[in-house]
Amino acid sequence: MSTTAQTPSATPRKILVLGATSGIAEATCRIWASQGASLFLVARNGERLAAVAADLKTRGAGFIDTAVADLDDTDKHPELLAHAINSLTGMDIAYLTHGVLGDQPEAERDFNTAAQIIHTNYMAPVSLLTWLANFCVQRHSGTLAVISSVAGERGRKSNYLYGSSKAGLSAFLGGLRNRVDREGVTVLTIKPGPTKTAMTANMPKNEKFADPESVAESIVSAIDKRKDILYVPFQWQPIMFIIRNIPERIFKKLNL
């Protein structure tokens, strides 16, 4: 009758969560909280962050601390990360989940909107990961789990700003993994398909939309297994294989 989600690991893990009020992050943290993990949560909206923190504390997190921060502000990253790791007294996992879908039609008209999407989804994670990777390399341990997207696999007219920012992030993570794997550091690239969260609240739903809870279970398990790349739900791996291999002269005519 029991599920793995309830089994506490031998030593409670120390986990830094960047973008902790996102739907997928929250669902993942609930699993870790029920295992008694120590969590440091970062998000932009203090009221929401407090609601998430109270929930995780109630569910059994061994330790919770929070910081309200706008992760777009890359200048503040070193200070924020040092503070978080100090509060956690170490770090086993850094989980980067923040990102924006952005307004694609507006980004087609206005470069500033486009640049903002790229900054939030690409520049800010690169800044965070540069610092965090160096921290982990020094200690020859740690996992960097980062949410990218299947949307990064091929540019489509409906969301190519979001998609290209995630494509950049996926490529960055591949390179980073290639660099730090030999140092004992794990990099997990997470590629969720569309998930029922606040980010997609205004999109028409269909059966393809995954529940954040099942996405979160796959993420926790992939981190435990030190996987490199996770498509979640797994069906997206063959789907994206096909989509990547449609010839461009056909692809450009499709409405995707």
Cα separation, 68 vs 22, whole angstroms = 14
54: how many CB neighbours lie within 10 A of its CB?
11
Helix 160-180 vs helix 124-139: crossing angle, to nearest 10: 10
Cα separation, 108 vs 161, in Å, equals: 9
For 60, other C-beta atoms within 10 Å of its C-beta total 15
CB of 205 vs another protein, minimal distance in Å: 5
CB of 21 to another protein, least distance (A): 9
Count the alpha carbons within 13 Å of 198 in the hemisphere toward its beta carbon: 13
Q: Choose, from 95, 122, 160, 162, the residue flagged as catalytic.
A: 162
Q: Which residues bind another protein (CB under 8 A)?
A: 1-3, 6, 23, 47-48, 51-52, 54-55, 58-59, 101, 103, 106, 196-199, 201-206
Task: Identify the CA nearest to 18 among candidates 28, 8, 9.
Answer: 28
| Catalytic residue status for 162 | yes
Least spacing, CB of residue 217 vs another protein, in Å = 10
Q: How far is the CB of 36 from another protein (least distance, A)?
A: 13
Query: How far is residue 45 CA from its own chain's centroid?
Result: 18
Residues annotated as catalytic (active site), given as ranges: 162
